[in-house]
Amino acid sequence: MKNTIGRTLLIGFISCALCIAVPAQAAGDPALLRTIQSQLADDMVVHGDFTQTRQLAGVKKPLLAKGAFVVEKTRGVLWRTLTPFPQTMRVTQGEILQKDGDRVLMLLRADQEPAVNAISRVLFSLFAGDLSALAEFFDYTGRAGSSGWQLSFTPKNDGLRAVIGSMALEGDKVVRRVTLTSAAGDVTHIAFSNVATAAALTADERAQFE
Amino acid sequence: MNAPSSSKAPDTPGDFRYARRHRVLAWSWLGILALLAAVLLAHIQPWRGQIDTDLLALLPVDERNPQAEAALKTLTQHGERELVLLLSAKDVATAQRAARLVRESLHQHEAPLTPQAPQAQIEALRDLYFPYRAGFVTDQDLRWLGSADQAAQEQRALALAYQPFAGGTLNWRDDPFGFFGNWMMQLGAASPVRPYGDTLMVQTAERHYAVLLYQLTQSAFSSDLQERLAADLAAARNELAEQFPDVQLLRAGVVLHATAAAQQARFEMSLIGSGSLLCCILLAWFVFRNFKALRLILMSLATGALMALTLTWLLFDRLHALTLVFGASLIGVAVDYGVLVMARHLNDPEPRWTRFRRLVSPLSLVLIAPALAYLGLLLMPFPGMRQMACFAVSGIIGAWLTIMLWHPYLLPSSLPVTPLAGWLMQILRYWPRWRATPAQWLIAALVATAIGVGVAQLKTNDDIRSLINIDPQLLHEQIDVAKALELPSPAQIFLITGATPEEVLQHEEALLAKLLPLIAAGKLTGYDAISRWLPSQQRQQLAREAQQTLAGARAALAEELELTGDWAAAPPQALLTADAWLAQPATKSLRYLWQGRSADGRYSSIVLLKGLRDADTAHQLAAFNDAHIQWVDKTAEVSSLMGRYRTLLSSVLAAAYVLAPLALLAFFRRQTWRVVMPSLLATLGTLAIMGYAGLPLQLLNVLTLLLVFGMGIDYGLFLVAQRSDARAFLAICVAASLTLLSFGLLAVSSTPALRTIGVTTVLGIGLAWLFTPLFRASVAEVSLGAENMDTINA
């Protein structure tokens, strides 16, 4: 049970390392990103609940999971799954930690696995809504209106594409919905609810980042 | 070259018959030279592109271990065309922007490079492995399989199923426990390079490196490519320095060293060549002050060079740049014969052909010693040395033949003594002569003691690294690149053999298991081995059997998640064979690790090590040697080979000093010691000076002393054969100073090997020159031995 988002993304990043590095041209309209970024709240902390539905290729039953998340712009992401079983993932600069209660299931550090730097940056930007950082790794298209925006991303690197076939983000002041489609065909929808922003972490949240 | 027609009528009937025979030979020589020139002209264009600058070509071939030799050769060829550029900066963004600039610049200049795939293309590998994936389980997961109960097994699969990016690069249903994903991830240990945005990056605690990998479009030794690449890299470097002054560009690749070596060799060749030539002309002019004399000397040089160049190119197909540098200094040796002959004709009133006939015997003897010395070089297992020897022997013989066959026609009718020549000839009268007086014996005892003490202090050094010159800046950059990219050492490898490919893989896996504790202890940082990518069938079988315990968990999962079809009963999968693996295009870039089948029907592979630093660890690794595993340390092996040949060649040298007097005894009888003594003393003196100066004795010193033997014996021989004639002494003075000047110029070479040859020659020839007149015979002794001399001169 030591397999996580981190682990899977890791494979992608290692895959890239072993693949030819194709010089990527910036595909996408930077003006669109700026428009959307200006709609997004620029608070230090975003927190809320998530509902995640997965539809796996060849598996009939949809897999439903619920939990809560916290993003702090300087520290990282805390991703707590509550049902069907509790699990915590913490992504900070240079480290990805996964816990099952108090038991450490997995600890990935950038000094041992260099890809951790890139992974934490992707995950971090994804949940924090840092679109320009995502644009480093993905090509994108999308639209922005007064009531909200939509963006879809495809990875620039072959290795990353092997893991994430495509990614779609929807939101207004905050990111509301994320859809991930793996290259192999597994689809994951994540919907965010009760999203609120704050200037600082609560004491309880801060403790979990320590 | 209308030489023969310009000859005058011979002076005596005997001379007349002699001259007629001689004329035929002279014409033949002209014909041969014309032929050589035609060959050279016809091939000069294709040959010019085949000047070697590969320093490794100088290294000996290890005849004792052909398999290791073949493995190292594959490795060299594999890496030959690679060029790695790193942009080192304090932050990621700057490194990336700098990398884009360099990439663009190289692209715009149409540099002779193609961007290169870093190792294997993992997507293609994944597709290759997919049908066999049950056999690919990491050690860690194997241990987990040994201990996990069904609840833990189900939990692991469920956790993966709920993860947003499940299953790695496969669907969850194809790798529900993530074993294959973990195994693929483990391949990441092969390289620290990771993509970051659009760039490959290596990140260390202090620096961020953007990585650009290229493949050359032609051989690294193509001079055309070298020139273009050097210009393009310099342009990129300038642009970088302008826009990113804080970013360092680090370069690594065989081509960079080859370019530096080629530029250096070209520069030294012209410097040493023109320097030697100029010295020759000036000295010959001041000593003889005669245009025809100068013409003869230059003609012998030109014909020598023509023969050396053409024959060496014909025989070896390629010419090493260092051969040309060494060859340039041979001007000083080839010119000797012209000088010896010319000096003999100074102020000589006898008819030309009589003078000539008298010269034939000593001139013939004079050729023997150096030609034999260089032929000794031909026996060495050093491809570069052999080429140099061939170049030297053919050059010397060419020059000698010109002198022997043409000089009667090209000689000036009279050659008066110039003031400089006269002055030099005067010196001989005042030069001390060995008379065996008590005072001289005392001095001799002191000198002998000094020599003994010096020789006793002589150290030896067979380390090949002390002979090869590497641009320190390039070396520094290369070390940084190797460190950042964790590149393995190409000089220290394991060679694994077996009767079948499967056996090789099993032996390799056993070896890698032994390396793990060393990696854990930090003595190594990793390895490159084929079994990382291609587990043995035994290992694949083990992994499959370990997964049989999953049957219960699979059935439960199938029910809980409502899986379709016969998923629960995991289908048995085939084992991946070496042949199937090797046949895939995706594995092409890894195939250098696989040596395949050798002539004796056995299979072999190589394991490369990363982060090997200290000699203790190397000793520990060498202890892993068994019937199937062989530790190959190229540097140590070459050094030990150098040591063996140094010893061998020292014996050859000693034998030469014993045999040469025996051979000369027939001609010189009781005067023989006078011929041998100068060069023997010069050799011992050189060794003693090296001992005092702390210069270690290397193979190359001994080789050079062999050349000193050849030339030194010549000096003694000429002086004794010419009855201590002042003209012979003059010839020796001129010949020795020319040798000193031209070989002395080698001492400016940046290649330590050539510098060593230069310094040893200067010492040895200098001493031989000083000692030769010391052992001249007195006029009385000469007249006593006159009958012997006549047999020589007849």
Task: Give A93-140 pLDDT, tens digit per residue.
Answer: 778 887 777 777 777 777 767 677 777 778 778 877 788 888 888 888
- B610 in contact with A, Cβ within 8 Å: no
Minimal CA separation from B161 to chain A, in Å: 8
Mean pLDDT (chain B) is 82
- Terminal CA-to-CA distance of chain B, rounded, Å? 30
Helix axes B786-793, B634-668, angle to 10 degrees: 110
B570 and B547 Cβ atoms separated by less than 8 Å: yes
pTM score of the predicted model: 0.72
CB contacts, 8 Å: B194 with chain A: 13-14, 16-17, 114-115, 117-118
- Measured between beta carbons, the chain A residues lying within 8 angstroms of B100 are 23
| Dihedral sign of CA atoms B99, B102, B108, B110 in order | negative
Q: Mutation test of the interface with chain B: which of A4, A9, A15, choosing the one with the most B Cβ atoms within 10 A?
A: A15
For chains A and B, CB pairs below 8 A equal 199
Q: Collect all residues with Cβ–Cβ distance below 8 Å to B155 and sequence separation of at least 6.
A: A1, A85
ipTM above 0.85, yes or no: no
pLDDT-based confidence at B3, cuts 50/70/90? very low
Which of the residue ranges A173-177, B1-5, B731-735 would you say has the lowest mean pLDDT? B1-5
Nearest residue to B601 (alpha-carbon basis) of B67, B174, B104, B228: B67
B 553-582 near A (Cβ less than 8 A): 560-565, 567
Interface test with B, best of A20, A59, A105, A187 (most B CBs within 10 A): A59
Asked if A21 and B199 come within 8 Å (Cβ–Cβ), the reply is yes
Is there a contact between A7 and B172 if contact means CB atoms under 8 Å apart? no
Q: What local confidence, expressed as pLDDT, does residue B605 receive?
A: 93
Considering CB atoms only, which of A114, A156, A182 is closest to B165? Answer: A182
CA atoms within 13 A on the CB side of A76: 19
pLDDT of residue B44: 75
Q: Give the angle subtended at the CA of A3 by the CAs of A94 and A115, to the nearest 5°.
A: 30
Question: Which residues from chain B sit within 8 angstroms of residue A106, using beta carbons?
Answer: none
B169 vs A16: CB contact, 8 Å cut-off?
no
Phi, psi for B631 (deg, rounded to 5): -85, 120
- What does the pLDDT read at residue B218? 82
Q: Which residue of A has its CA nearest to B566?
A: A58
Contact between A20 and B126 using a beta-carbon 8 Å cutoff: no
Inter-chain contact A188–B185, Cβ cutoff 8 Å? no
Give yes or no for a contact between A169 and A150, defined as CB atoms under 8 angstroms apart.
yes
pLDDT at B595 over 80: yes
Tell me the C-alpha distance between B324 and B335, whole Å: 17
CA A198 → CA A127, A195, A205, B245, B400, distances in Å?
15, 10, 12, 42, 97
Residue A204 has pLDDT above 50, yes or no: yes
B603 Cα to chain A: minimum distance (Å): 27
Residue B165 binned pLDDT confidence (cut-offs 50, 70, 90): low
Nearest residue to B336 via CA among B4, B728, B757: B728
Interhelix angle B223-243/B254-288, rounded to 10 degrees, is 110
Question: Would you give the distance in Å from CA B18 to the centre of its chain?
Answer: 48
Give the model's pLDDT for residue B167.
44
Strand partners, A143: A150
Q: Residue B543: pLDDT band by 50, 70, 90 thresholds?
A: very high
Rg, chain B, Cα only: 35
DSSP run (H or E) holding B447 = helix B438-456
